[in-house]
Structure 1
Amino acid sequence: MSTSLASAAGRTSQCADAATTVRVWDVPTRVFHWSLALCFAGAWLTSDSERLRDLHVMLGYTFAGLIVFRVLWGLVGTRYARFTSFLFSPRKFASYVKSLITRKPEHHLGHNPAGSVSIFAMLGLGVLIVLSGFTVYQDIGGEWLEEFHEVAASTMLAVVFVHIAGVIVSSLLHRENLVRSMVTGSKRGAPSDGIRHTHRTVGAALLVAVLGFWWAYQSGTADAWLPQPTATAGERTDRHHDD
């Protein structure tokens, strides 16, 4: 009798924990996520426009800065932002994919194994895109490097679509809106598993840095400390007045 009551109480407690909303994603992680998505989308849409070339370059620089920030935050950030929280073995990845196929998905409060693969892939591709884009901007490497830059960007776009599809599938199977959680920072979980600090100050500083850089770039202030393309340095003197 007492054993049954204890078991029932345990199940009730687990259900209560599962229904509790806890903070998982800190503010810097969320600001990074949406800022990177905006920069990549904007850079992709302006990649073939000569008239919008400066906007493309500005977004590229921002994209680079965001990646640097994410690498640092992956080392010193909060629990679920750190790389160590979503380093999964191939066996864990296979087990998670199998759980999706059988419609009995393993629940991960932070990044799941499939999501972690896409995150590392996007960060790695992001580095290649930045390095190749900068050398192309400096007129170094020739046409092959420009093609490499385009291939890297196209590959990342494919990874982004796979990532979005994975988010949709996981949201449906887990019955949890993962997109909303990256906006609010909250998910269902046990109270003890939530993060204590959201680091709003760091998140605000990151947003101010992004917006401040955009202002400096558009006003021409950033020209004093940003490297200029060697082949067209003279042409960029009046780049903000061409239109």
Structure 2
Amino acid sequence: MNGGGTPLQRVRVWDLPTRVFHWLLASAVIALVITAKVGGNAMVWHFRLGYLVLALLAFRLLWGLVGGRWSRFVHFLYGPGSVFAYLRGHAGPGGHFEVGHSPVGALSVFALLAVLSAQVGTGLVADDEIANQGPLYRFVSGDTSATATDWHTGAGQWLIIGLAVLHVLAIVFYRVAKGRNLVGPMLSGDKQLPAGTPASADRLAQRALAVLLLALCAGGAAWVASLGG
């Protein structure tokens, strides 16, 4: 039971496709930063990882519409009122601010997805004027490519690093200051929550749908890569 005497039970919050997406994306972003810094022959892997992130972002967009309850955008798309209420310490209707993404956590998620999308998009049309061009470079003007390249190698890269650092610091803060383990549920999928808390569907049918969607997104990313000739 929690401090208020309400019985707790294991509730599936993060479905398997969401968890796999999370850890694949985190690993790919780290590897992208490393390969960008190394340069040279590592740029082959930088491009491959970029296409992987493109596929993952497309998948997350679709999964945010049809995935498990707490992975759907509709369940963590909060208005300003909810954000301010959360900052004042309110738990939200039925305590649901503490189930999936909190209002502040949701802002972090959307910011990361937006910045990563911009980074992938600019990378697709970038040109380092040495040996590497994005597959869509030939479809834009030289000025557009130059602007995209400046963002991709400068502000965009540092924004991603900054948001990733803030993400880690937030995890540490919640663990130390609030006693909440955010990593464990993203590994197991479950949280100890009050009885009656709605769970995310995570059965074979949902997982099969996720595999199909990811395959379609991977095919789309491969098609984009092929446009580079």
- Amino acid corresponding to residue 51 of structure 2 in structure 1: Y
Aligned with 1:148 (options 151, 161, 177): 151
Q: Does 1:197 align with 2:192?
A: no
- Number of corresponding residues: 205
Deviation at 1:16, TM superposition (A): 4.3
Q: Secondary structure at the match of 1:68?
A: helix
The gaps in structure 2 that reach 5 residues or longer are 127-133
Does the Cα contact within 8 Å between 1:107 and 1:174 map onto a contact in 2? no
Aligned with 2:172 (options 168, 174, 181): 168
Q: TM-score, normalised by structure 2?
A: 0.77
Deviation at 1:196, TM superposition (A): 5.4
Question: Aligned pair in 2 of structure 1 residues 208, 96: CA closer, same or farther (>3 Å)?
Answer: closer
Q: How big is each residue's C-alpha offset from its partner over 1:171-203, in whole Å with a ceiling of 9 and x where there is no partner?
A: 334422111110001112123214253145348
Deviation at 1:95, TM superposition (A): 2.7
2:21 aligns with 32
Does the Cα contact within 8 Å between 1:22 and 1:189 map onto a contact in 2? yes
Aligned with 1:77 (options 67, 70, 76): 67
Structure 2 distance, partners of 1:38, 1:13, is: 37
How much identity, in percent, do the aligned residues show?
A: 28
- Amino acid corresponding to residue 78 of structure 2 in structure 1: F
Q: TM-score, normalised by structure 1?
A: 0.73
Does the Cα contact within 8 Å between 2:78 and 2:103 map onto a contact in 1? yes
Q: Secondary structure at the match of 2:41?
A: coil
Aligned with 1:41 (options 11, 30, 40): 30
Aligned with 1:58 (options 31, 48, 56): 48
Q: Secondary structure at the match of 1:15?
A: coil
The gaps in structure 1 that reach 5 residues or longer are 1-10, 234-243
Stretch of structure 1 that moved more, 26-35 or 198-207: 198-207
Write out aligned runs for 1:1-243 (5 A).
Answer: 15-17=5-7, 19-48=8-37, 49-99=39-89, 108-136=98-126, 137-138=134-135, 139=137, 141-150=144-153, 151-195=155-199, 197-200=201-204, 201-202=207-208, 205=211, 226-229=225-228
Question: Aligned pair in 2 of structure 1 residues 159, 13: CA closer, same or farther (>3 Å)?
Answer: closer
